[in-house]
Structure 1
Amino acid sequence: MRAGRTGRAGARDRRWSAAFAAGGVVVLLAATTGGAPAAEGEPPPPGQVEFPTHCLPPQEAGLPPADGPTTARISVDDPAPKVGDTVTVTYRIAATPAVNPVASELPADVVTPTGRIVLAGAQSGEVTVVGVRRNDPVPAGAALPGVIMTGTFTVTAPGEITLAPGGYTLHTGHPVDLETACTAAGPAPVSEHLTAAPLPTANLRALTLGTAYGQPGARVAVTGSGFAPGAAVTVAGRTGAAETADRVAATADERGAVRAELPVTDKATTGVVAYEGTAWSARGGSGPAAYTVIEAATVIEAAEVVDAAPPSRGTRKMTAVVEPGALAMTQAGESVTLGAVSYGGGGSAGGRIGTVTVEDTRGGPAGWSLVGRVTDFTGPGGVRIPGASLTWTPRCVAAAGSPSACRAGSAGTVGPEGAVLASTADGAPAGGTFTVDAAVELRVPPYTPPGAYTAVLTLTLS
């Protein structure tokens, strides 16, 4: 079914879009017949380049090769994407040395273009671009019209990525199917570039204590993980946002693990933190892990007072102790199965990670953070889908009576660097039971080889 025309006059600037089903997946393409080169004296559009081209007409045409310049430009929908983002690229050809391969006029809407864009710099490779049949009539012997082709690619590396026009093929469907293949005679000049930002790096440092309370002067066993191997680490007491006088130095081993004993003598200490560098930060430190200093002298004094004034006949002294618990999580199920997509169309494979229950019964002022990271998806023959192609939309609900409020992480890319799934803030009182889940989607490129693709999603609670 042909899309409606906008009129013959000025038809070179018409655009249209069409959706069609491919193996059950709806694909949206956009195309145009292209624009004429800039008029003499006018500056060319930004990014427009010329490169020598060698065009081979179909053998059936009996025509010699056509050599000459191709005038083209490339544009992107997002010049500053992040790793894992999908970028739409547009390849516009304003003029080509390729000519009508038949001895008669080509009618309207019989030229179908395909091509490729060459990536270099931080990311190398090629992007396949396609257009739709949309052209004005082409007289016999005249140059084939300009075209516009579009495609997409997933950003896999941070830094500057350059885009240069590559070869293209012009398929004519009248009176028979014929193809004119055009190749660049040498590297084409760069027409566009973009700068990709790396994914935010999640803080995977974690800290646990051998005990959550003790008398002044007690030595607390501290175990940390996720630090830079060999880094100098400071373990310190903390009260609110300030550090106390309790402090000890440690060194992370080759796996980034830290082990230390912290003497806690400052009665103001309510938590323990560990960090690299000169000061603690939420991005570069771990904790705080809750800790309570028990006033032993106060207990003795109270006992002496009681002994000095024994209770009257028929009364008894009663004492109850509320002991702090731990920070722990459980997850429903052992695996996550995503939906299927078609081979030709690709698309999004959706699913859920399964319910994660976090219980915080430490009784201190420290909040917690639940971070996830995912490996690349590996399929048949070692084919990989980047882990940065997985996105999620987190959800977190606090159970009734929980002192802390639960905050779901931001929707976006998970990737190998990790992202926050859920968290609670520091504050008193803190703790509770929390239910965490997330909807996930894996972007699968078209024509990914069929088969099962498997990755590992790791959740870290700290």
Structure 2
Amino acid sequence: MASLRSSTRRRRWAATLGVTALAVSGATVLAPGAQAQAQAAMAAVSFPTHCVPPPIAGIPPIDGTTTAEITVDNATPKVGDTVTVTYKVTSPAAGNPVDIALPADIMTPTGKATLGGAQTGSINVTGPKSNPPVAGKAPFPPFSMTGTFTVTAAGSITLSPGDYNIHTSYIMELDTPCTVTNPPAPVSLTIVAGPQTVPNDRAIQLGTASGNPGDAVTVTGSKFTPGATVTLAGRSGAAETADKTTVTADSNGSFSGQLTVSTLGTTGIVAYEGGAWDSSKGAGPAAYTVIDNTPIPANSQKIGASVAAGTLSMTQAGDSVQLTSVDYGQGGNATGDLNAVTVKDFRGGPAGWSLTGKVTDFTGPAGTIGAGRLSWTPSCTTKSGSPSTCVPGSGGAVGLAGATLASTPNGAATGGEFTAGAKLSLNVPAFTAPGDYSGVLTLTLS
């Protein structure tokens, strides 16, 4: 039986960011070495390998086949990001070169992974000194090695297994180097790197924080695009007012302009490049108050009120989901429902939100389940009266790279309450060894 449950509940909050995790476990799932990650084009590959036993073994080189796969911690990095690479050899071409049985924890693997496509080169990978006992002349057991590389180019980057060496430290220090016979080996993983994110350092300051209706306020800005036309606008809550003007940034990206503010409900002032507000090309809002100096009639009282902005948050109905069981020899889809996730957007600003999820590989006593075998069909409902309308993400694999569960767009007025969910399906190969497997599905709200 496959299940999705939490061994520990983890939730982090920050201003407009929430994260919740669900641990994944179950009974009949994917066999080791058979995973395929659709979003990251991940696959186990086999390739001819030439291994040279240590001279003391007195045996000739071994020409065999290595089966391996490569995974990463981030399949959609940006230029400048550091990516951790795991090179897992599930079936080494070589074995214990001597008749003496090797005890546990005396093997240290090292190797290289090969980059291709938009970025070329190699990655040094190293594994821990860890192994089960190996009988004399028996095949070496599977092992994993990890390393990192920094993304230097945007586009599709391929990763292929490369040469590796198995070092044993028992009685003597011995090495068994194995090289790819016809390099490069087949591509095991393709990731897609995006361009480097340009930080928005734009900033504005006001000459005064309040004024009477019709007063002009001085707005100064910095770090805008040199020569750009910048719109100065009043903001009443999440909506812009009719109070607008434009200025031109100088060669240093700075400006100083006067904005006449007449709208009594003005709560702030923004500045942005382009024809409409864009948080990546704008600054603000800077707080500003229009003082209502309308004379109060005789025998009257002026009553004021304010609305305080809240936060973006989420809660989930539970942290355990039980999927249906599948039978050994038949396999199929283990199905279930994601616990409902309630999103409350009480910020009162122009920004929408996005709720995404990603899942780790499923691990168990008989191997691993590829993260790409968990798929979902998202759904989302909007509570009546909410200014925004949520949109469910596209159905498909969740995977290591992640997918969108639900979102709302940016707009002049946003906010509300929403409930997101999904139909879950875990594809199980027919002859997967029975047992409990576990992984973690993490939801992130931003």
TM range (shorter): 0.3 to 0.5
CA radius of gyration, larger in: 1
Structure number with the bigger relative contact order (C-alpha 8 A, sep ≥ 6) is 2
Q: Structure 1-normalised TM-score?
A: 0.46
Higher strand share: 2
Q: Structure 2-normalised TM-score?
A: 0.47
